[in-house]
Structure 1
Amino acid sequence: MPPEKRTPIVKKPSTRKTVSRKKKPKPFPTQWKVAIAGLFLILLSPFYYGYVVKGFVGAWRWVTDWGQDPEYRTYNSFDIKIPKKYSIHGIDVSYYQGKINWQKVKTMKEDEVSIRFAFIKATEGILLVDPYFQRNWREAPKAGIICGAYHFFRPKRDGKTQAKFFLQVVNIEKGDLPPVVDVESLDGVSPLKMRAELADFLNYVEMKTKVRPIIYTGLKFYEDYLDGDFEDYPLWIAHYYQPKLRLDKSRWKFWQHSDKAKINGIGHVVDFNAFNGDSTALVEMLVK
């Protein structure tokens, strides 16, 4: 038998892999180095901060307030919007704000907005004295802030008794703002009963101090229960986050327009207020 035929093995020619060499990076152009160095110098310069950065901040304010009332602008340091038509601003405080550094409060300022006055909680009902009242009443005037004391009114309690208690705690002196009664709720009594007790409080305080007290209340509470009564008393109205107070300007003296202001020297948010008048009008309100 013939030998078995074998298929010859064909070998492929071997190829050598060429090793690619990495190209060395070209040196960074000198002109770019100079340009970057110059940019850093500009960023760090007072000119850049004074004009470019401040200009950017102003533009950002314009963008954030775009479409809003131009008389109701955001003030970044206070972290709230503030109506621009008022030149006298102030706060009101109680134990809720804790220990306050009044010197820092007084020196805080953005544009023309600064703290000129403060209403300070003194008493509530017939037994409660605010634990921070005496300190605040002493330290705020030392810092140059005009102060007024307020009583949180409880309609269930006798109005005259509350007035006596308030005046036992607060010594009202020349240069103070008029005393304030804060009435915010019915506390379960009828509107007629609330008004009767409130009248007793107001009459007693005015008789003893020879000063007409201020009534503080919310806009809704005023519209529902007080409108048409106590028209001879100055009003302090709470109405939040609005460019305008929805009440005839001739009726009110103070407007509490925010409860979220951030103030230097105070560790908690604060109520912020505007006075309806100029410096002369504020002085005319003070106790003589």
Structure 2
Amino acid sequence: MRHFTKLVLGLMLIVAVACARTPPRGPAGGGGGGVYVGGTVPELGDRKPHAWRNGHPYNHQVHGIDISRWQGSIDWGRVRAAGVSFAFIKATEGGDHSDPSFQRYWREAAAARMPRGAYHYYYFCRSGAEQAQWFIRNVPREIGSLPPVLDLEWTNSRNCPGRPGPAEIKREANVFLDIVGRHYGQRPIIYTTVDFYRDNRLGDMRAEFWLRSVADHPRMTYPGQNWAFWQYSGTGTVPGIQGDVDLNAFAGTSSDWARWLSTRLTR
């Protein structure tokens, strides 16, 4: 517990330092020919910025990324210096595939003192229990890690083309959440997309949500749904990463983020 307390205090110090050097918020619509995001993290950008009208991600104080093997080599020091506050890293999918870059990213992000967590891409041809055990086999249980994430969306796999009904999906997903939650001591976050959320009526599931919404604010695309993270772009640009990267915003302020970390990190 003493080690965990020191870790949390260290992360809170990182948050405080980042806030102290945060520049004034930029224009609500971004700018700079689609390069300058503005807001509280001006070094982040977007190749195809959206004209936000019902709520602006760039005015959120805490931003992060989610990545997989396709991001290639990453300069984590530059990523952190650019104002990125967290990273979710793809670890596994289904019951027999692991991302070949996961272990490297996991170590490198930790060395850069980047709060990071792992996510699992769910397949409907394996049980929730099988997939939970596969995730546990591949993702270390490390003090100070962000909560695990269960990625629920419709897949386009030739090997798993079926689409179970909402009751089956939620039953098996809850099995995954229970097993993984017990192992890591934190109930996983659910990542999902607009169509999957609507098709399967996920709002009654017991979990924090990370919502994909790249064309409007989540309050418009997921009416009434509380959320912790918002994936607002798949065409983001981040110093230290070549090519496009997904950008995400945390729901609260920097102070809220520090409090969230103090309760949701693996102990």
Q: Name the TM-score, length of structure 1 as normaliser.
A: 0.68
- The verdict on how the C-alpha distance between 1:205 and 1:241 changes in structure 2, with shifts beyond 3 A counting, is same
Q: Residue deviations 1:173-195, cap 9 Å, x none?
A: 22111000101016413223222
1:220: how far off? 2.5
Which of 79, 91, 94 in structure 1 is aligned with 2:68? 94
- The verdict on how the C-alpha distance between 1:270 and 1:63 changes in structure 2, with shifts beyond 3 A counting, is closer
What code does the residue aligned with 2:183 have?
K
User: Matched residues in 1 for 2:168 and 2:266: separation?
Assistant: 30
- The verdict on how the C-alpha distance between 1:165 and 1:63 changes in structure 2, with shifts beyond 3 A counting, is closer
Aligned equivalent of 2:257: 279
1:84: how far off? 3.5
Which of 217, 234, 257 in structure 1 is aligned with 2:232? 257
Q: Residue deviations 1:242-283, cap 9 Å, x none?
A: 355423576110000100001111112000000112333331
Asked if structure 2 preserves the Cα contact closer than 8 Å seen for 1:257 and 1:274, the reply is yes
Asked if structure 1 preserves the Cα contact closer than 8 Å seen for 2:40 and 2:60, the reply is no
Match status 1:223 vs 2:192: no
- The verdict on how the C-alpha distance between 1:194 and 1:249 changes in structure 2, with shifts beyond 3 A counting, is closer
Match status 1:168 vs 2:137: yes
1:94: how far off? 0.2
Aligned equivalent of 1:270: 245
Unaligned runs of 5+ in 1: 1-56, 66-70, 109-113
User: Matched residues in 2 for 1:215 and 1:272: separation?
Assistant: 17
User: Matched residues in 1 for 2:218 and 2:137: separation?
Assistant: 37
User: Matched residues in 1 for 2:62 and 2:93: separation?
Assistant: 28
User: Matched residues in 1 for 2:130 and 2:40: separation?
Assistant: 44
Q: Residue deviations 1:75-134, cap 9 Å, x none?
A: 5751346624411100000011112111111112xxxxx200000000011111101000
Match status 1:144 vs 2:113: yes
- The verdict on how the C-alpha distance between 1:64 and 1:147 changes in structure 2, with shifts beyond 3 A counting, is closer
Secondary structure in structure 2 of the residue aligned to 1:140? helix
Aligned equivalent of 1:233: 207
Secondary structure in structure 2 of the residue aligned to 1:204? helix
Unaligned runs of 5+ in 2: 1-25, 51-55, 156-160
Asked if structure 1 preserves the Cα contact closer than 8 Å seen for 2:44 and 2:237, the reply is yes
1:61: how far off? 6.3
Aligned-residue Cα RMSD (Å) equals 2.9
1:148: how far off? 0.6
Secondary structure in structure 1 of the residue aligned to 2:45? coil
Secondary structure in structure 1 of the residue aligned to 2:211? strand
Q: Residue deviations 1:127-156, cap 9 Å, x none?
A: 111010001000012112100100000012
Aligned equivalent of 1:44: none
Instruction: Indicate the percent of aligned positions where both proteins have the same amino acid.
Output: 37
User: Matched residues in 2 for 1:63 and 1:158: separation?
Assistant: 47
- The verdict on how the C-alpha distance between 1:73 and 1:172 changes in structure 2, with shifts beyond 3 A counting, is closer
What code does the residue aligned with 1:134 have?
Q
Aligned equivalent of 2:92: 123
Higher-Rg structure is: 1
What code does the residue aligned with 1:238 have?
R
User: Matched residues in 2 for 1:198 and 1:85: separation?
Assistant: 33
Which of 183, 189, 213 in structure 1 is aligned with 2:188? 213
Q: Residue deviations 1:32-90, cap 9 Å, x none?
A: xxxxxxxxxxxxxxxxxxxxxxxxx98x967979xxxxx98995751346624411100
Q: Name the TM-score, length of structure 2 as normaliser.
A: 0.74
Asked if structure 1 preserves the Cα contact closer than 8 Å seen for 2:203 and 2:225, the reply is no
The 5 Å alignment of 1:26-65 reads none
Secondary structure in structure 2 of the residue aligned to 1:106? helix
Asked if structure 1 preserves the Cα contact closer than 8 Å seen for 2:233 and 2:248, the reply is yes
Asked if structure 1 preserves the Cα contact closer than 8 Å seen for 2:218 and 2:230, the reply is no
Secondary structure in structure 1 of the residue aligned to 2:196? helix
Secondary structure in structure 2 of the residue aligned to 1:257? strand
